[in-house]
Amino acid sequence: MVPMRRIWERQGLVFGDRRAPSLANASAIEAAERDALEHENRRESVKKLFTLLLQAGDIERAGRVAERWAEKEPLDPEAITARADVLAARGERSAAMRALGSVLDVRPGDVAGEKRLARLERWAGRPALGCRFSIAISEMRPADAALLADAVRCARDTFDTAAAEELLTSASATTRDAAERLLAGPRPDDQALRGDLKLEATWRGGADLDLALIDPDGHRVSWLGAPTRAVITARDAVSTSGETLALSGGKPGEYAIEIVNSRPGGMSSGEVTVTVAGQTNRLPFTLDGARTRIGVAKISMHSRLVPL
């Protein structure tokens, strides 16, 4: 007898002949529409309909649902994020970023939201603006040495030495000492690609294209971020010839893959190399407009027995 144990492994597939997850089918959307009509004040019904429409790629209908949701619940951060996702999918990137910023107006003290905005501003090539959010986060959590180190580092990087010194001076001795040890160590790289789901795109035409994934929960994952526990990393976010997007800790399920032109106009053509849990496929694309879907990536879990 050989003692055995069960392990779970992630396996990936890429479908170049599909444009939406199988669960976002016509019958599921029809059922969600009926439920939303019957229970128009039930938040979960509206959210489910929006999620299915976004996954299916029906941006116009998803936009109408998001607008109704925001009208009924203007202070709901998820409704604001839904509107931002629709704007980003339409190629209105600046408007989407402004909408994401308004989340902080209705949820002050949201550290995750501040971090998201700090990161996207850095990736957009505006490190000084991103640093404002990092400083605000540090001031909200004055005992967190890691946040203090991030704020001091970005202040120094953007030549705001006065702000860096003020942050260190105002911190407690214990927090300051811990932060200085972190500052003396290796510099974190928030563009180091991590995860077993990765998109690498190259294209011709000189357009500024954005990669995006619609995850199993209906979150739109791009370098603009997403309200998900998975870790998002990206490179060349505002390049006119290529971009890379990676996701670490993505939940099992199907992910729609789309490409959006942040300044619609003209034609672009290229290829996206999709790597998911060890499986790699190359998907060619041509974009003549605001957006296009190119395929679906799937992560599934499979078990097997191995010697203990």
pLDDT at 140: 92
- Cα–chain center distance at 16: 22
- The pLDDT tens digits of the residues spanning 83-139 come to 999 999 999 999 999 999 998 888 888 888 999 999 999 999 999 999 999 999 999
- d(CA 290, CA 261) in angstroms, rounded, equals 5
Whether the predicted pLDDT of 191 surpasses 80:
no
Residue bearing tokens 């199907």: 254
Q: What is the pLDDT of residue 173?
A: 96
Model confidence pLDDT, tens digit, residues 141-150: 999 999 999 9
Give pLDDT, residue 106. Answer: 86
Mean pLDDT of 238-263: 95
Identify whether the C-beta of residue 255 lies closer than 8 Å to the C-beta of residue 297: yes
State the average pLDDT over residues 236-245: 96
Q: Which residues does residue 245 pair with via DSSP β-bridges, in sequence order?
A: 199, 234
Task: Please name the fold of domain 197-307.
Answer: Immunoglobulin-like (2.60.40)
Using 50, 70 and 90 to split pLDDT, how confident is the model at 232? very high
> CA dist 58 to 22, 99, 289, Å?
14, 20, 15
Which has the higher per-residue pLDDT, 33 or 110? 33
Q: What are 108-121's pLDDT values in tens digits?
A: 888 889 999 999 99
Q: For residue 264, what pLDDT band results from cuts at 50, 70 and 90?
A: confident
pTM (predicted TM-score): 0.91
Position 192 confidence tier, pLDDT thresholds 50, 70, 90: confident
Q: What is the structure's pLDDT at 82?
A: 96
Per-residue pLDDT reduced to its tens digit, 267-303? 999 999 999 998 999 999 999 989 999 999 999 999 9
pLDDT above 90 for 265: no
Give the start-to-end residue ranges of the domains of the chain: 197-307
Question: What pLDDT score does 109 carry?
Answer: 82
